[in-house]
Amino acid sequence: MSKDIRIPRGSKLNLDGEANKILVELPRPKTFVLKPDDFFNITPKLIVKEGEPVKKGSPLFFSKQNPRIHFVSPVSGEVSAIIRGAKRKILQVLITADESDEAISYDVPDFESLDAETIKEIILKSGSWPFIKQRPYNIIAQPEDTPKSIFISTYSTAPLDVDYEFLLKNNKRDFQRGISVLKKLTSGNVNLTFDESFKGFFGGVKDAELIGVSGKHPAGNAGVQIHRIDPINYGDRVWVIEPEDVVNIGILFSTGQFSSQRTIAVVGSSVAKPQYYKTTIGAALKPYLEASGITHEEEVRVINGDVLSGTTSSEEGYTGYYNNLVSVIPEGNLYRMFGWLPFVDNHIPSISKTSLSWLFGSKKAKVTTNLNGEERALVVTGEMEKVFPMNIFPMQLVKACIAEDIERMEALGIYEVVPEDFGLIDYASTSKIEAQDIIKKGIALMIKEVG
């Protein structure tokens, strides 16, 4: 019996600026940053001081919620600054890299002979634990848990998303090792999902349940796949890991060193040469943006992640902890005369048929960050369901989150969703509802009240 799944509904946004399959390696940038805000619901407790030398793998801070979880330096060098915001909140730990590239090494025996607890201990100690995220809530996993399954999605459907087959082509053995390590941590399966029409080397991976997926965005989201394959019940824990972080864990178990490899694709209509770069977590983005030929004809927005659910960065910003994608699109801070009339300005892509943009479906659209309207009361119904392929009522769940009705949020399926699943709902909303933000606040409330 084929385990392949087809996700109905959703929408594919055909945008301009997809990355060419060229992998470029640039000289390593000088500065690196670790941002506690990259980790949802973590309160950092600093271990290092400004001016302290660090090696690759030296802990910089740990999580107050669980002191076993360390966040380590991606490179060797010196802690050059700790940037704080309001109420002394730690925003960035800045590291100036040196040439030595010294790393902390651990003695890692052959993982085949290790039990789950020892493997967890090695991952924790090396600082690789933050790679493992947990559903519900999309927070860093608790080392004390045993997940009922682990999901790795290499099926990318988000706008301009990377091609994992290309991205991991030099890391096939480490990827396999990572999968085999993870297999020891779960009581169930390691589910590896991939594009059903092109399996690539993922089709030959061992120790994992191989599941082909087809469908439009958000079919590539792990949350949507979990909902179909192994839905989360009350109290369940499912772990989710990004494909390249599986490689990082694989490298850890072959070299004994923390691996902070990150391949990024700089994409979007505001770069002349969208392509892939081999770099490191937290690296300064500037050299990569320049190498991609960022256009300065208009103001641009640099986004860590895809245009639907990424976080805003800047040209002076840094690579995020998890994202492989860096999207650069023009800011749309311009007025459009009578732009609200139906069937005008058809160059702006629209899921709704009140625009003729569907006639130009094959043409790659240039999008801007314009809101294309103003926030209004929730009037139109049924549009969220069109782009939300789960057996959950999205509008009712959003309303329950606004009302902070915990019991109802639970009943309507808050455990099964994460904000990124609502990315297309944000996009498609007639009333310009900020669904991702509402869901994120709802999840934070659940963590606080229910845990």
Partner 1 sequence: MSFLRNKIDQIKKPFAKGEKWAKFAPAVNAFDTFMFVPNHTTQKGAHIRDAVDLKRTMVTVIIALIPALIYGIYNTGYQYYIQTGEVFTFLDAFIHGSYKIVPMIIVSYVVGLTIEFIFAIYRGHEVNEGYLVTGLLIPMIMPVDIPLWMVGISTAFAVLIAKEAFGGTGMNILNPALTARAFAFFAYPTYMSGNKVWVSEASNVDAISGETILGSLAAGNDVSYSMMEMFNGSIPGSIAETSALWVGVGALILIFTGVGSWRIMIGGILGAALMGFLFNLWGANALMSFPWMNHLVVGGFAFGIVFMATDPVSAAQTNRGKWIYGILVGIFCILIRVFNPAYPEGVMLAILLMNVFAPTIDHYVVESNISKRKKRWSSAQLKTA
Q: Which is nearer to partner 1, 209 or 421 (CB)?
A: 421
Q: Which is nearer to partner 1, 50 or 331 (CB)?
A: 331
CA distances from 16 to 19, 70, 232, 270, 276 (A): 10, 39, 36, 9, 16
Q: In sequence order, which residues have a C-beta less than 8 Å from that of residue 56 and are 6 or more positions away? A: 72, 73, 74, 75, 76, 101, 102, 103, 104, 257, 258, 260
Q: Which is nearer to partner 1, 45 or 336 (CB)?
A: 336
Compute the least distance from the CB of residue 385 to partner 1, in Å: 6
Q: Which is nearer to partner 1, 173 or 432 (CB)?
A: 432
CB 244 within 8 A of CB 320: no
CB 131 within 8 A of CB 141: no
Compute the least distance from the CB of residue 329 to partner 1, in Å: 7
If you search the block for the tokens 């965005």, which residue do you land on? 217
CA distances from 299 to 75, 187, 213 (A): 32, 50, 37
Compute the least distance from the CB of residue 119 to partner 1, in Å: 23
Neighbours of 148 (CB within 10 A): 17
Compute the least distance from the CB of residue 431 to partner 1, in Å: 6
CB 301 within 8 A of CB 287: no
Q: Which is nearer to partner 1, 205 or 435 (CB)?
A: 435
Compute the least distance from the CB of residue 346 to partner 1, in Å: 8
Compute the least distance from the CB of residue 238 to partner 1, in Å: 12
Compute the least distance from the CB of residue 195 to partner 1, in Å: 23
CB 355 within 8 A of CB 314: no
Residue 377 burial (10 A CB sphere; 0-12, 13-18, 19+): exposed
Q: How many CA atoms lie within 13 A of 120 on its CB side?
A: 15
Q: Which is nearer to partner 1, 173 or 376 (CB)?
A: 376
Q: In what order do the strands lie in the sheet with 53-54?
A: 31-34, 90-97, 77-84, 53-54
Compute the least distance from the CB of residue 427 to partner 1, in Å: 5
SS3 77: strand
Q: Which is nearer to partner 1, 46 or 392 (CB)?
A: 392
Compute the least distance from the CB of residue 354 to partner 1, in Å: 5
Q: Which is nearer to partner 1, 195 or 426 (CB)?
A: 426
If you search the block for the tokens 């990827």, which residue do you land on? 175
Q: Which is nearer to partner 1, 220 or 349 (CB)?
A: 349
**For residue 82, which of 91, 93, 71 has the smallest C-alpha distance?**
93
Cα separation, 408 vs 449, in Å, equals 14
